[in-house]
Structure 1
């Protein structure tokens, strides 16, 4: 199961070369994984740096102008990596913009893991996780933008567990319009 993000990242990389030029942008990011925030418990077995690669499609012209995206996140120390799909929306606020999003991802770690002292679960509880995120960005040029980004992965207590540790990732990503 640990091969899922690597396989999806490979597919995503191939898709970048064959999709028509009407696709909106690609993004690449570097994240600190396992940051302690109010949205997650201290997940003792998560840490390291995560490298993210994504592909954001042109907005679907509706009232919301949502932008579908593909994402792959590879953890550099062997902790949870994931890949999935989602939607986001850009809100221009003068010289900066806000981009909230939500997705579903599949992560590559399974099995119940317990903290040896507290006996609390420290695994992510499910292979399928929600992935809400928010970014604050600015355009560096017509083609390039830079974002400070927060992402959270968890099962929101909907899948097979009363406990929901979750993992927060905070980092930066560079977007390149195609």
Structure 2
């Protein structure tokens, strides 16, 4: 557990923007079955997501650091993610991103099937995401997004992963 806290602090300081330029929040369906999850998820509920996005790292590139937390309504896996996203477009846009996440779910309990939790195989996971959004005012955008958590079989042979799909509201300062 101490290692997870240290990793979370390190990841958050690396990607924490010097000055947040945007705050966002959203609701996500937790444990959506997609081809990337390798079967149905035993977890469910709604994730409440809250985060910050920083100014562009290199002006004009659309590359922005982000930090967000997702808390699950049923007490299933919650996580903290930090990384980078790239925004392509303005009025209508696409925002792919990649981060690292630390979670409070099961790490590796493969010998206890049917325990109702996803067995991720690692406390630290990759967190790719994809958002498609629209600007509704100069400071407000709304986007549909997908967030995936897994370790890509790097830390163990088992890699069930989880997909969360939802919508978020972004408010630029």
For Structure 1 versus Structure 2, the TM-score category normalised by the shorter chain is 0.7 to 0.9
* Unaligned stretches of 5+ residues in structure 2: none
Question: Is 1:84 matched up with 2:81?
Answer: yes
TM-score by length of 1: 0.80
Runs of 4+ in 1 over 4 A off after TM superposition: none
Does 2:53 match 1:46?
Answer: no
Alignment of 1:102-141 (within 5 A): 102-109=98-105, 110-113=107-110, 114-116=112-114, 122-141=118-137
CA RMSD, 1 decimal: 2.5
The 3-state SS of whatever aligns with 2:32 is coil
Matching of residue 146 in structure 1 with residue 142 in structure 2: yes
> What residue in structure 2 maps to residue 15 of structure 1?
none
Aligned residues: 159
In 2, Cα distance between equivalents of 1:169 and 1:112: 22
Conserved in 2, the CA contact under 8 Å of 1:91 and 1:99?
yes
**Map of 1:169 onto structure 2:** 164
Task: Measure the CA separation in 2 of the matches of 1:25 and 1:38.
Answer: 32
Structure-2 change in CA distance of 1:61 and 1:103 (3 Å): same
Matches within 5 A, 1:7-46: 22-46=19-43
Once residues 78 and 142 of structure 2 are traced to their aligned partners in structure 1, the CA distance between those partners, rounded to angstroms, is 23
Q: Which runs of 5+ in 1 are unaligned?
A: 13-18
Instruction: Tell me if the contact between 1:43 and 1:165 (Cα under 8 Å) persists in the aligned partners.
Output: no
Give the structure-2-normalised TM-score. 0.82
Distance (Å, rounded) in 2 between the aligned partners of 1:43 and 1:108: 20
